[in-house]
Chains A and B, each alone.
Chain A
């Protein structure tokens, strides 16, 4: 992540615009290549942090664009790991020296500085640590990463985002919503006139004023967005004690080299899919789950969808964990009003007890049998039981 001093932006008429670098410009590519050469060499030779800083510092000073070079260097440093040089047990070495100097001091004598031949007593400070790992990348990819990081560095000063997805397909919406859920944010939807969706994203506490608590989560949504076809993002950021409007969209040509968010499959989900396939003969998990438009600006993004082998009926499952517990109540209300929705709910026991759920749905037995409680992750048997009850 870039720091405040690395931000390159233009501010005019209350708007802030990131100044991105041309990823094909020879001068930028040369700076990126030079810095990458330094870091690759640092890994090969096990260079110390201070030597690496000196060497990269000289590349930065010689660069025609020092700010760009300094930002690239920060991104490379984030991809570098250091480990202490292990030739000497420094704590034991120091203990011996300190014990000796303490004895002398008690006799009114101060120790003399050690000779230049002996190891530095603080030779294990970070400056002396050695490069132990470096995640390399190509110069073009580094410049693309820099442009993305420039935009994220501005989003760190936002407490709320408005996303607009024009003509979104289901998988695009799912990617965004999965990321919103993953980062424990809340979203409010509204439809745009021309086949699009506006999603307002913020954290629960943001209702009470701008909060920096969610800034990193908000900035982390950007790599998910930039891989979509048509998107825009608006935010108000507080920078240099001014409120500024920031607008980003697909025309900036941002790219994220990271794997698509949706391609990451947690272990428990992978196991769930396997067990479901093993245990169920009458139902199967179907591929891309659509979103359900429940009307009145309510859009539901189920976590899984199931198709009955016999009837072909598709039923969707939405899971509620503690980090989006606030939406459960409105979903139960929705099911009461729209029992025709092909939706079942799995609810984390951390957010609702059986007694609470029974009471809430005491007059709605048909809805009650479509909900069940789970711990950590829903079991396959319970899912099948609820699916079979719901289909009847």
Chain B
């Protein structure tokens, strides 16, 4: 054993030198002297760089940081024949030293790509996911393909195995203890990763191999740089339109402008006048980066602020969930009797209003796990043909047979809108074309919101 030791310490790496004068200067930008402990410390995610540099210069050291072995016996229990785009993505990722982000539309087989990556590397793997639904879904898929016990962190589970799935939240809490136990890190829906806290889930892990998966990795420059630093550059990308009719269903998008009822329209104008008058009075503009923050501060400080905030909520509620929209929704439902339909709303209140109105199951973060599973299972089998949800089905959850989507209301987020379209694109027997309806209250701020969220190539050709 060498006198120089590389050690994992609570999400960081310590280089303990037998002689402090031997510090490898090539790593001066990676290690920092830590006056609290009197030794050299680096981020755990720099492990690969550190080990390669030390080996390249024949620097004697003992690696006590890595606490995993290769899984020589790990093999697929079921044969997978990848689609050409999956094979191409895997090759590009492997050619980039097993690091990088792959952008595939929802339904194009991101999970299968990760299974193929784990099978080719045969290293213990930690999969990060944003929701509890995805946690259980990934665990089921990994168990099916590898026939091994799958660890889970999150949703009340705390079990670490060679193949472990964790929510981003649980990873941040646990990574200082388990960050040296995995050789491969897979970040599903990796556009979440650059968040101030979530990025620690990748930064405090030593995994030399890293795979980011997302249908919508587009984000601002700073977040993109963080993502690429932690996972690697985007190595492969393919759009919905390129896979439509091949791997994904054909689809149509129908935007429907709905007139408010006359009393609602009057109330909308009144409330909007109160709210916009307040904005003008205090020179607040939502075009500014700080517009929303300034509005909240002004509401709490200035006369008329409380009324302005109440008016803001009321006019938004009318635009999002006017009675006329419910009438149009009823007509749409009757156009597709018995078909598998997902209704998306911007908020929980509207979701529950629809659920109560038509006696439909509603899935929100309030839905307890047993009932959530029962709803999804019944939807998959067709026992419940309609599901109403606000945001929990936006991402990832595998719903193979949904053919119709109704965006009853939503935010201006392009990502949310593309993810919602993705929910209905998974192909299934007998499904010839998917249909996405978007309901927009005419003459309200929803028209602008709708315009913003459609700024994506998946929608452009269907305008």
Contacts and interface: CB of A to CB of B under 8 A. Distances in A.
Interface of A: 5, 67, 91, 94-95, 97-102, 105-108, 110-111, 113-114, 120-122, 125-126, 184, 186-188, 200, 202-205, 207-208, 211-213, 322-323, 325-327, 329-330, 333, 355-356, 359
Contacts of A204: 9-12, 41, 176
A330 B39 contact: yes
Would you list the 8 A-B pairs with minimal beta carbon distance, nearest first?
A108-B337, A101-B359, A106-B338, A111-B359, A326-B37, A188-B36, A204-B10, A330-B38
A213 B172 contact: yes
Contact of A326 (B9, B366, B386): B9
19 contacts: A5-B296, A94-B361, A100-B359, A102-B386, A105-B338, A106-B338, A108-B338, A111-B358, A113-B357, A184-B176, A212-B197, A213-B200, A322-B177, A325-B9, A325-B10, A326-B14, A326-B37, A356-B5, A359-B3
Contact of A205 (B5, B11, B14): B11
Nearest to A113: B357
Nearest to B67: A350
Nearest to B338: A106
A326 B12 CA distance: 10
Given A330-B38, A356-B1, A122 B359 contact: no
B64 interface: yes
A98 B1 contact: no
A357 to B, nearest CB: 11
Contacts of B35: 188
A67 B108 CA distance: 50
Nearest to B361: A98
A108 B334 contact: yes
A97 B383 CA distance: 12
A187 B36 contact: yes
Contacts of B159: none
Given A126-B366, A188-B35, A213-B172, A110 B9 contact: no
Nearest to B197: A212
B358 A101 contact: yes
B370 interface: yes
B229 to A, nearest CB: 12
Contact of A114 (B200, B204, B300, B359): B359
Given A106-B385, A122-B355, A330-B38, 6 more contacts: A94-B371, A98-B361, A106-B337, A205-B204, A213-B200, A326-B9
Could you say which of A91, A114, A355 has the most chain B C-beta atoms within 10 Å of its C-beta? Answer: A91
Contacts of B43: 205, 208
Contacts, number: 131
Contacts of B300: 5, 67
Interface string B377-390: 01000011110000
B41 A110 contact: no
Interface residues of B, number: 54
B352 interface: yes
Contacts of A327: 37
Contacts of B357: 113
B370 A200 contact: no
Interface string B48-77: 000000000000000010000000000000
Contacts of B7: 325
A102 B385 contact: yes
B1 A102 contact: no
B177 to A, nearest CB: 7
Contacts of B39: 326, 329-330
A330 B34 CA distance: 12
Interface string B13-41: 01010000000000000001011111101
Contacts of B439: none
A94 B387 CA distance: 13
A203 B41 CA distance: 12
Could you say which of A5, A188, A205 has the most chain B C-beta atoms within 10 Å of its C-beta? Answer: A205
B352 A95 contact: no
A95 B385 contact: no
B95 interface: no
B219 interface: no
Contacts of A205: 10-12, 43, 176, 200, 203-204
Contacts of B14: 326, 329
B36 A121 contact: no
B160 interface: no
Contacts of A326: 9-10, 14, 34, 36-37, 39, 41
A183 to B, nearest CB: 12
B204 A207 contact: no
A102 B197 CA distance: 42
Could you say which of B16, B35, B359, B370 has the most chain A C-beta atoms within 10 Å of its C-beta? Answer: B359
A161 to B, nearest CB: 13
B374 interface: yes
Contacts of B352: 122, 125
B394 to A, nearest CB: 20
B384 A102 contact: yes
Contacts of A355: 1
B303 interface: no
A342 to B, nearest CB: 22
Contact of A122 (B34, B296, B356): B356
B330 interface: yes
B101 interface: no
Nearest to A186: B36
A120 B276 CA distance: 37
Nearest to A126: B366
Contacts of B38: 329-330, 333
B1 A125 contact: no
Contacts of A108: 334, 337-338
Contacts of A211: 200
B37 A120 contact: no
B386 A330 contact: no
